[in-house]
Chain A
Amino acid sequence: MDFTKREEIAELLADEVSIILGIPKEKVKGDVPLNDLGFDSLSFVEVLVAIENKCSILLMETELNKNDFRTIDALADRIYAVKNSK
């Protein structure tokens, strides 16, 4: 899968969050703030690295801002934008 569609990216993100945080995928809702899901600095970086590896992008080198990290949906939007600006 090349993750060019917004839905594919959101699905991938939910998968990775579920694996890294060890929570069931159904609990990974798109509109829940990341800190409510149980993220800390390390798990957040782990998700970014997993997404970078799977989507072949370098998120850390983009201008990520605080709003991009608020929810899974916001992060999926951002990744979609980065992926399609290549």
Chain B
Amino acid sequence: MDWLLYSLDYQSRKALGIGTAIQIALELDSVLDAADLEEALKHVARMYPVLFGTVKRDLNAAPYWDIPKQGDWAIALDVSRVDSRDDAMALLYEDAHIPWKHAREHVKFHLIHTGETSTVGAVFDHCLFDDRGAGLFLDAVHRCLSGQDIPYGSSFAAPPQLSEWGDKFRAGQKINRFFRQLKAGDPVLSFARKAQTKGTRNFFRLHTFSHQETMAIQRDAEHAAGYLMMNPYLLAHTARVMNTFYGSERNSTGDMVVPVSIDLRKDGENEIFFNHLSFMFYRIKSADAADLKNMISDMKQQMYNQVKQGTLMALVKASLLMRIAPVWLSNAVMQLPFAETPTSFSFAALMKSSYTASEFGSNLVANIHHLPRIPLKPGLGIFFTQYKEKLTLVVSALEDVVSGEEVMNISSDLVKSLRNAS
């Protein structure tokens, strides 16, 4: 799946000037000393040389991650002081739009002091980190800050996956069939991009539910969708709000297609680097979009069908086909199934934050926010994360897809929908 994400990143850099990235903000309840953080980051940089790698190709065209043998590599750290939390969030927002300084930079930090508290913002290059990996990386920084050891290197070494081509081609065929079925039938609601110009920015809106509200949402989810079915429950509420949005703001009706990112790591696996993601795709029928019960039932059936057919792993295998082609060509190949399948919005629900410590160094963490930048397609994403039994909603969109006001409306409608469910 790395290669698929690398190709997505190539598209993003080409069209927008910056690649896909994840941003995580840790809000601390006290002031974190900048010198301590700088020292911890220096230690992490020494222990994880993979941080300063870049993609290169071997003589046989096989891609590999080139790790520098020596050099004075460092993780960038900016330090600022602002007057309010809003100002801190605005600074973090700017960080996510600043291109990487060079091809070997994949993570950068910003420590922002506000009165007697601090916020630690980190931007992670999606080529090297997925959301869970980014949380695990912050955990490694926390351990360094706390004086604990972290192991040198990482068990990231993976086989080149350049054998068993027949198997990968069959997976590709399976995926092509899947996409053909997904796009068959009525037209799918999607956003028309106005322009893919360099410098396109994204808006985001963040809402954290209280502990009480989160518990109520969990109870409602169990009642409406069943035990362990929080993910389809949140997606159904989101789809209902988005269906209304498309109807009222875009005057369009139709089915929705939603890619949902899935972390393929097992519970005990703590691999920090590279991507371990696959996607499920849901087609939500226009006729069901106002009816939560029908939607949930249909989503559960679609999840069951995709697991039964092995679609998740087939997508991972098929993406490895792109390793035989240079990125500009694999970009064109990869575009075929995706480009022909319009999507309505992207969705993810990470119910357990990979950052599990209550502190960062010796500072208590008040909250964690995951602020993903949006991949090229479809340009609007709705994400849920949970930390310390509090659910956070992030709506993020490219500015040429929806306006800032529309992002706020989508967020507030979804908050209302979840609060008023019971």
Instruction: Known A42-B303, A66-B226; judge A22-B351 contact (CB<8 A).
Output: no
Residue of A nearest to B233 (CB): A41
Q: Quick one: which of B227, B269, B307 has the most chain A CB within 10 A?
A: B227
B231 with A49: CB separation less than 8 A: no
A40 with B228: CB separation less than 8 A: yes
**Residue B267 contacts which of A21, A41, A45 (CB distance < 8 angstroms)?**
A21
- Residues 213-247 of B, flagged 1 when their CB comes within 8 A of A and 0 if not, give 00000000010001111111000000000000000
Instruction: Known A49-B307, A60-B304; judge A42-B230 contact (CB<8 A).
Output: no
A22 with B227: CB separation less than 8 A: no
B269 with A45: CB separation less than 8 A: no
Residues of A contacting B: mostly: helix
Q: How large is the interface on B (under 10, 10 to 19, 20 to 34, 35 or more residues)?
A: 20 to 34
Instruction: Known A35-B228, A69-B227; judge A23-B304 contact (CB<8 A).
Output: no
Q: How far is the CB of B5 from chain A (nearest CB, A)?
A: 20
Q: Please indicate the chain A residues that have their CB under 8 angstroms from the CB of B280 in the complex.
A: 42
- Residues 279-322 of B, flagged 1 when their CB comes within 8 A of A and 0 if not, give 01000000000000000000011011001100000000000000
A45 with B227: CB separation less than 8 A: no
Query: A14 interface residue, CB < 8 Å from B?
Result: no
How many residue pairs between the two chains, A and B, have CB atoms under 8 Å in the bound complex? 52
**Residue B307 contacts which of A23, A34, A45 (CB distance < 8 angstroms)?**
A45
Query: A3 interface residue, CB < 8 Å from B?
Result: no
Interface residue ranges of A28-66 to B (CB < 8 Å) = 34-35, 38-42, 44-46, 48-49, 52, 60, 66
A42 with B231: CB separation less than 8 A: yes
Query: A5 interface residue, CB < 8 Å from B?
Result: no
Instruction: Known A22-B269, A40-B351; judge A45-B226 contact (CB<8 A).
Output: no
B304 with A34: CB separation less than 8 A: no
B266 with A45: CB separation less than 8 A: no
Query: A25 interface residue, CB < 8 Å from B?
Result: no
Q: How far is the CB of A32 from chain B (nearest CB, A)?
A: 13
Q: How far is the CB of B221 from chain A (nearest CB, A)?
A: 10
Residue of B nearest to A33 (CB): B227
Q: Can you list 9 pairs linking A and B with CB atoms under 8 Å apart?
A: A21-B267, A35-B227, A38-B267, A41-B303, A42-B262, A49-B307, A49-B308, A52-B308, A69-B226
B residues whose Cβ falls under 8 Å from a Cβ of A: 222, 226-232, 262, 265-269, 280, 300-301, 303-304, 307-308, 351
